[in-house]
Amino acid sequence: MKGVSFFYTGIIRDRLLLPDLAEEMQDICSSLGWHYHYFDAAEPGGLEGIYFSPENCSPLFLTFDGQDRLLSPISQITCSLLKEKGLKPDPVYGVECSTQFAGPDVHITLIRLFRYLAGKYFHDFGLQDTGRYWETGNRETLEKQFLQGEKQLIHLRDALETLDLPDASGHRSLEEKIEALLRKKK
């Protein structure tokens, strides 16, 4: 359960734009006090781009593979494992970010930032937003989604607090007990 989050995919318009993207993001991150790191293609893994992390938010990656596709280092490892098994790794291209604990202001800032970056640096950019701000631009809608995510987390916390952990000889798994408790809370 991650609450409000978004998932983004894309292909950079031109690989020659990567230094400009990284420089612009470094300026933005510095001015907002966000941590960041530049990945050089010469580093292990061969990704190029920038990682950044607003406070209380999942890390975000604007890192690209050799085919100019957006790919986080974690996804890169997953893709490599899938390719070794002869599977097509397309579903893992892209990055997911949870903003539930960062709040609506950070979420709005990031969505506006990605709208700007999509127009300037990307072609074939997509973003799916559980907060629905990307689609609507409506703060009230977003705040409702944050409240819903908060309620879900409270229900989970309450269920876990009342959870009677099974002993090793129990027939019901911990997973089954959690699912049963969550169904009761709905």
- What is the per-residue pLDDT across 154-184, written as a single tens digit (0 to 9) for each? 666 667 777 666 554 555 666 777 777 777 7
Query: For residue 79, what are its two tokens?
Result: 């893709």
Domain chopping of the chain, boundaries:
5-138, 140-185
Q: Which helix (H) or strand (E) holds 12?
A: strand 5-12
For residue 91, the 8-state DSSP code is G
- What is the per-residue pLDDT across 128-137, written as a single tens digit (0 to 9) for each? 999 999 999 9
Q: Extract the runs of DSSP E, i.e. beta strands, from 18-132.
A: 35-39, 48-53, 60-64, 95-98, 122-129
pTM: 0.79
- What is the per-residue pLDDT across 92-123, written as a single tens digit (0 to 9) for each? 678 999 998 899 999 999 999 999 999 999 99
